[in-house]
């Protein structure tokens, strides 16, 4: 009797370049809906007619924007509406978890749109795996990324003269086990924009925000970092590129 061949999930990668936040959010929503609809349709199809899922990994950079997660507080945005307009900064309340964060030039934002039914149905494991992608990428640049209990994202530990520094924020949304949103990894980011918010709602004076360029003391090649991130994504999630 023939046995069914188990194939790896297939992921399509797209680098969207610089894209307005709303446009990227709309694209995520469309791709998310397609995965959910295909999954539900497959449950009604006989085995020979099931359509394979194609998952998505989107990388992009946004023009200056603050986004507030569904569990966040508007009080953590320190600029008024007219000040945002004057500075050319957009603002969106969105449906991911977490509080307020900043996206802008010099940052790589990653949006995995995965049907976790084809990976693992464990939200905690999913977030930890996203963190591990960043931690392994930092290790390739000679830095030790850490997790801090009670906080999502990836940090660098404090020293006698430096606080603990957050280098990557993570906020996700899942519906029917299909993911949206993702991570924001500071590469050559202008960190002064974080001064207009209470990043992730964390007001602890012993915690700060940093970037890969600041930690290395040089500007980094963003294309190179994206290739490193892609490699660790494929390794940790066990998929093949489509």
pLDDT, one tens digit per residue, over 48-74 is 888 989 999 999 999 999 999 887 888
Q: What per-residue confidence (pLDDT) applies to 207? A: 86
Q: What is the mean pLDDT of residues 10-37?
A: 97
Model confidence, pTM: 0.93
**Domain-embedded: residue 158:** yes
pLDDT of res. 72: 83
Confirm whether 206 is domain-assigned: yes
Does 90 fall in a domain?
Answer: yes
Placement of tokens 């023009």 in the chain: 63
Q: What is the pLDDT of residue 65?
A: 97
Model confidence band, residue 7 (pLDDT cutoffs 50, 70, 90)? confident
**What pLDDT is attached to residue 48?**
85
Domain membership flag for residue 182:
yes
Find the range with the poorest average confidence among 69-73, 155-159, 224-228.
69-73
Position 59 in a domain: yes
The pLDDT value given to residue 97 = 81
Q: What is the mean pLDDT of the chain?
A: 93
Terminal alpha carbon distance of the chain: 30
Distance CA 152, CA 191 (A): 19
> Does 204 or 21 have the greater pLDDT score?
21
Q: Provide the pLDDT for residue 4.
A: 46
Residue 200: active-site member: yes
CA distances from 151 to 70, 143, 148, 164, 196 (A): 16, 19, 6, 12, 21
| CB environment 107-129: b (16+ within 10 A), e (fewer) | bbbbbbbbbbebbeeeeeebbeb
**Structural domain contains residue 107:** yes
- Asked if the structure places residue 4 within a domain, the reply is no
CATH of the domain at 212: 3.30.930.10
Q: Is 86 a residue whose pLDDT tops 50? A: yes
Query: Domain for residue 219, yes or no?
Result: yes
pLDDT at 2: 40
Tell me the residue range of the domain where 91 lies. Answer: 10-241
Quick check: 150 pLDDT over 60?
yes
Res 203 pLDDT > 90: no
Quick one: pLDDT at residue 155? 97
Determine the average pLDDT of the residues in 137-150: 96
Catalytic residue among 200, 208, 209, 225: 200
Where does the pLDDT of residue 14 fall: very low under 50, low under 70, confident under 90, or very high at 90 and above?
Answer: very high
- Which range of 121-130, 151-160, 192-201 scores highest in mean pLDDT? It is 121-130
State residue 3's pLDDT score. 41
Q: How far apart are CA 223 and CA 90, in angstroms?
A: 25
The distance of Cα 4 from the centroid of its chain, to the nearest Å, equals 34
The total of structural domains in the chain comes to 1
């Amino acid at each position: 009797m023939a046995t069914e061949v188990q194939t790896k999930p297939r992921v399509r990668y797209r680098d969207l370049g610089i894209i307005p936040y709303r446009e990227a959010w709309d694209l995520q929503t469309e791709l998310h809906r397609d995965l959910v609809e295909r999954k539900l349709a497959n449950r009604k199809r006989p085995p020979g007619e099931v359509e394979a899922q194609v998952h998505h990994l989107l990388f992009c950079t946004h023009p200056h924007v603050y986004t507030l997660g569904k569990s966040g507080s508007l009080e953590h945005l320190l600029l008024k509406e007219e000040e945002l307009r004057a500075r050319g900064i957009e603002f969106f309340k969105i449906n991911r978890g977490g509080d307020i964060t900043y996206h802008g030039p010099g940052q790589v934002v990653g949006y995995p749109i995965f049907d976790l039914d084809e990976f693992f149905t464990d939200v905690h494991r999913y977030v930890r795996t996203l963190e591990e992608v960043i931690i392994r990428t930092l290790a390739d640049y000679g830095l030790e990324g850490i997790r801090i209990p009670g906080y999502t994202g990836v940090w660098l530990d404090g020293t006698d003269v430096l606080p603990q520094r957050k280098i990557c924020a993570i906020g996700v949304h899942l519906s029917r086990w299909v993911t949206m949103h993702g991570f924001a990894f500071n590469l050559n980011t202008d960190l002064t924009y974080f001064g207009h918010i209470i990043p992730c709602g964390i007001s602890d004076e012993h915690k700060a925000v940093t970037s890969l360029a600041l930690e290395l003391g040089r500007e980094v090649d963003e294309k190179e970092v994206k290739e490193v991130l892609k490699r660790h994504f494929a390794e940790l999630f066990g998929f093949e590129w489509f």
